[in-house]
């Protein structure tokens, strides 16, 4: 599917100037894709690469760290970018250390490191500190996906983490709805919670003139079908543009594909005139 994109003077270029064609299908070989780009100030969609995946409820995986961060700061369990710092303990990784885990998982972790390196054990400890009932209250207040935080049992009857390939699910359109409220600071959390979460989501290595904020998520659906997210927003000339990028393999046993969702997003944004990456 190839989209030609024209923009009026309120966007990046002069009136009716042309942004390079994007052939989305070439970015999703052996996979389904979904990409949404939304202009917050003008309250309108800029791009919708729509497939069935966009409206398919899917586990948020590590993109759930965005609402979890807001809740953690709002409940004052998290306080700054560097506080609290929690020390790693072996019991935090019940299945042991895996080759794919960043070394930062095995040391002291603060909120900034948690989001940057997507430290799962920090999320679990934070959920324990907040309490699952309080999480459910916030999910309902945020209207976040299906709001199901009960978790499901795996084949060996182990209760899976609710947001990782488990009971909590969200569509790309629901991610967009949530991110609109976040960017507009309309989620009924403290100003501190909004500011700290935004600061921790800033992708310094990807920002040159335009600033990027975002979070990836990755996991496996039934039959070991890999799926990945990259959600966030770009700030350009004091305006915000929300992006929701999603990918789902068609072939089982693939590798985590959240990096592809992220890389695709940057390719699309650069083609649209955003000034990104050093």
How high is the pLDDT of residue 112?
98
Nearest-angstrom CA–CA distance, 225 and 252: 5
Report CA dihedral (171, 239, 72, 220) to the nearest 10 degrees.
30
Cβ-contact 92, 121 below 8 angstroms: yes
Burial environment of residue 155 by CB neighbours within 10 A (0 to 12, 13 to 18, 19 or more):
exposed
Average pLDDT over residues 97-113: 92
For residues 22 and 19, give the distance between their C-alpha atoms in angstroms, rounded to a whole number. Answer: 9
> Residue 16: what pLDDT?
31
pLDDT tens digits along 81-103: 999 999 999 999 877 888 888 89
The pLDDT, as a whole number, for residue 219 is 94
The pTM (predicted TM-score) of the whole model is 0.90
Secondary structure string (H, E, C) spanning 199-220: HHHECHHHECCCEEEEEEEEEE
Cross-strand pairs, 59:
none
Who contacts 44 (Cβ-Cβ below 8 Å, separation ≥6)?
Answer: 38
Structure confidence at residue 89 (pLDDT): 94
Q: Is the pLDDT of residue 254 over 50?
A: yes
Query: What's the pLDDT at 159?
Result: 61
Confidence at residue 3, expressed as pLDDT on a 0 to 100 scale: 52
Chain-centroid distance, C-alpha 36: 13
Q: Is the pLDDT of residue 235 over 80?
A: yes
Q: What local confidence, expressed as pLDDT, does residue 152 receive? A: 83
Q: Say how many Å lie between the first and final Cα of the chain, rounded.
A: 29
Other C-beta atoms lying within 10 Å of the C-beta of residue 185? 13
CA dist., res. 172 & res. 52, Å (int): 10
Q: Is the dihedral of CA 189, 190, 194, 199 positive or negative?
A: negative
pLDDT recorded at residue 5: 47
- pLDDT of residue 10 exceeding 90, the answer is no
Chain-centroid distance, C-alpha 236: 19
Residue pLDDT, tens place only, 114-173: 999 999 999 999 999 999 999 999 999 999 999 999 998 666 545 669 999 999 999 999
pLDDT above 90: percentage of residues in the chain: 74
**198 token code pair:** 């935004």
Average pLDDT over residues 231-258: 94
Q: Are 115 and 200 in contact, with CB atoms under 8 Å apart?
A: yes
- The residues, any chain, with a CB within 8 Å of residue 224's CB and separated by 6 or more, are 252, 253, 254
List Cα–Cα distances, 87 to 65, 106, 276, in angstroms: 19, 8, 34
pLDDT at 173: 98
Q: Is the pLDDT of residue 32 over 90?
A: yes
The DSSP bridge pattern shows strands 211-221 and 225-236 to be antiparallel
Residue 207 is encoded by which pair of tokens?
Answer: 């920002």
* Reduced DSSP (H G I as helix, E B as strand, rest coil) percent helix, strand, coil of the chain, to 5: 35, 25, 40
Confidence of residue 11 (pLDDT cuts 50, 70, 90): very low
Indicate whether 20 pLDDT > 90.
no
Residue 84 preceded by cis peptide, ω within 30? yes
Q: Which residues are catalytic?
A: 62
Which helix (H) or strand (E) segment holds residue 263: the answer is helix 258-271
CA dist 245 and 51 (Å) reads 12
Query: What pLDDT shows up at residue 148?
Result: 96
């Amino acid at each position: 599917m190839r989209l030609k994109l024209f923009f009026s003077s309120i966007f990046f270029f002069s009136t009716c100037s042309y942004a390079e064609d994007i052939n989305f299908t070439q970015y999703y070989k052996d996979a389904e894709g979904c990409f949404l780009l939304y202009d917050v100030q003008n309250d309108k969609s800029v791009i919708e690469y729509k497939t069935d995946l966009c409206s398919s409820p899917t586990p948020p995986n590590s993109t759930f760290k965005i609402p979890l961060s807001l809740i953690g700061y709002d409940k004052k369990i998290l306080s700054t970018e560097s506080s609290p710092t929690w020390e790693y303990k072996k019991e935090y990784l019940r299945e042991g250390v895996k080759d794919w885990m960043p070394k930062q998982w095995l040391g002291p972790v603060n909120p900034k490191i948690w989001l940057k390196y997507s430290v799962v054990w920090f999320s679990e400890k934070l959920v324990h500190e907040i309490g699952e009932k309080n999480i459910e209250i916030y999910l309902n207040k945020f209207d976040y996906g299906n709001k199901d935080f009960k978790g499901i049992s795996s084949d060996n009857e182990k209760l899976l983490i609710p947001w990782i390939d488990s009971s909590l699910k969200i569509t790309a359109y629901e991610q967009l709805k949530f991110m609109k409220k976040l960017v507009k600071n309309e989620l009924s959390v403290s100003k501190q919670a909004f500011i700290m979460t935004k600061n921790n989501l800033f992708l310094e290595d990807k920002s040159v003139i335009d600033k990027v904020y975002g979070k990836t998520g990755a996991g496996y659906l039934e039959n070991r079908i890999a799926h990945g997210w990259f959600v966030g927003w770009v700030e350009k000339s004091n305006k915000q543009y929300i992006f929701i990028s999603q990918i789902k393999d068609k072939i089982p046993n693939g590798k985590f594909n959240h990096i592809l969702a992220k890389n695709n997003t940057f390719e699309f944004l650069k083609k649209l005139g955003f000034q990104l990456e050093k």
